[in-house]
Amino acid sequence: MAIGQERVLTEIEKHARQARSGDSAKMRESVAAIRALCDLLLESDEQQPAAPAPRAIPLSASPAPQPVLSEKKLVEDGANGDSLFEF
């Protein structure tokens, strides 16, 4: 879903108002948000999608879970325990 340029510009204006009216910490947060929104705007101008965006795969189309195999211990000569590090 693409975000419209007007919406991004409106958000930039809102954060600019907050930066002017807030304290130093609020100003830094607002300026950081403005930077992120500007980057978003510039990226969307550079990357005009040639093909439509991929659609999400519905959850019902997910593969069926693999059945759990029975937990049958393998007994070998020379093995001395249940450790995973036994070779």
- 15 contacts 28 by C-beta, under 8 angstroms: no
Tens digit of each residue's pLDDT (9 = 90 or more) over 30-43: 999 999 999 988 88
Supply 26's token pair. 């609020």
Amino acid at 83: S
Is the pTM higher than 0.85? The answer reads no
- 26 contacts 19 by C-beta, under 8 angstroms: yes
* Residue 2: φ, ψ to 5°: -85, 145
Tens digit of each residue's pLDDT (9 = 90 or more) over 55-76: 666 665 556 666 666 666 666 7
- 22 contacts 30 by C-beta, under 8 angstroms: yes
